[in-house]
Structure formats: C-alpha cells, structure tokens
Amino acid sequence: MLNDTYRHKGMRRKLVELLRSKGITDEAVLEAIDKVPRHLFLDNAFINFAYKNQAFPIGSDQTISHPFTVAFQTQLLELKKGEKVLEIGTGSGYQCSVLIEMGVKVFSIERHRSLHMKSKKILNDLGYFPKLFFGDGYKGLPGYAPFDKIIITAAAPFIPQDLLDQLKIGGSMIIPLGESEKQEMQRLTKKAETEFLTETYGEFSFVPMLQDKSFKS
C-alpha cells in the first residue's frame, strides 16, 4: 500500500527542479521535499497529481498546501537541526513530515478529529513520529512552550497572542495573515518579550484558521 516507486521518485525530482526555478534556494528544504512521498498524503483519486504544484482536498473541506507554499514557509523558518517547532493545522501531515526531514522536533495541532487521526496513521506508517494534538491552534501548547519556531498553515485573521507568548526570544513565527481570499505571508521575529520584527513576503491563499470553540469530528 505504501508504494513509492521510481516513477514517483522521478516526479518528485521534477517537482524539486520546479521549486528551484520558482526561487526556493535552501538546499535542505529541497532535499526534504525530495524525500517525502507526497502522493501518500493524498486520497487515491489525486495520487497521480501529487507532484503538480497544486493544492488538493484532503477531506473535511480542507486542503494540502501547494508544494511551493510548503517549501516557501519552510524556507522562511530558517531551521536548525534539533529546534522545537510548533505547526498549526496538521491537515494531511505533509508539512509535518517535511519539517521532520529537516531534523527538527515537531509539535502539531489540528482541530478536525478525523484529520488528526488520519494524519497520525499515515505519518506513523511512514516512520514519522511528531507529537500530534487534537485541539485549538489559537491556544498553542503552553505545556510544551517555548518554541524556537511556529508555522501557521491556515489563514489567520489576526496574530494570536498566545502563540507570540510561546515563542522563544530570537525565535520566529510564519503566519499567513488576513481575512479575505488572499493573505499576506509574514515572518515575525521575537526580539524581546514584547518587541517583534515584521517582514512580509507576498500574497498566498490558505483555508481559514477557525475560531469557534467546537472541534470537529
């Protein structure tokens, strides 16, 4: 069932070249993308399209991000091996596995129980063991804080204060910020307890980071 053929590997190599041509320069990120069998994170119907630079449905009305978006956000994190990274929006688990291939310790939160369960299974079947949580990403994981880096993979209507609080000084958070169809990718670097440097990186389009209290099954 977990079939990663030479054909898939070949398609992945092409995807890596496409990402390089679109401006991804961090070799460690490209290597991680080259290693992760993205097709196994998609439902069967989409398997043959897995290596196109497209978003696809993963169930529960959610999508796996474009490979370029995954590569871009991962590059902005400027990861060092061994760092503690919090991801908001586990979704399919694909971004999670790319982070693990970068050599960091991953904590990830998902508010859809079915996606939480499904991603855990595929990740574990592939030999990836992040710490996965079913819960509200706006709250983060105070019990595991502080984190070196935080990556939000859903469109945040505002900057969640709890997440800023859970960032180490010197650490940074990547956040697609905005309530409309498009969001602005921002990197917030924590210079001091209440001092942040904001850098902006253009427009992207994510599914919304939802605020209602009721988690979905």
- 92 counts as catalytic: no
Closest by CA position to 90, among listed 55, 44, 136, 43: 136
What is the contact surface with ligand SAH in residues (CB under 6 A)? 58, 62-65, 88-89, 91-92, 94-95, 109-112, 115, 136-138, 153-154, 207, 209-210
**Judged by CB, which is closer to ligand SAH: 92, or 186?**
92
**Judged by CB, which is closer to ligand SAH: 132, or 210?**
210
Interacting residues of 125 by C-beta distance below 8 A, sequence separation 6+: 2
Interacting residues of 123 by C-beta distance below 8 A, sequence separation 6+: 93, 96, 97, 129, 130, 132
Q: How far is the CB of 54 from ligand SAH (least distance, A)?
A: 13
From the list 21, 65, 205, 214, the catalytic residue is: 65
**Judged by CB, which is closer to ligand SAH: 99, or 188?**
99
Q: Please list the residues that pair with 84 across neighbouring strands.
A: 105
Residue ranges in the chain assigned as alpha helix (H): 6-21, 27-35, 67-77, 94-101, 113-125, 161-165
Active site residues: 65
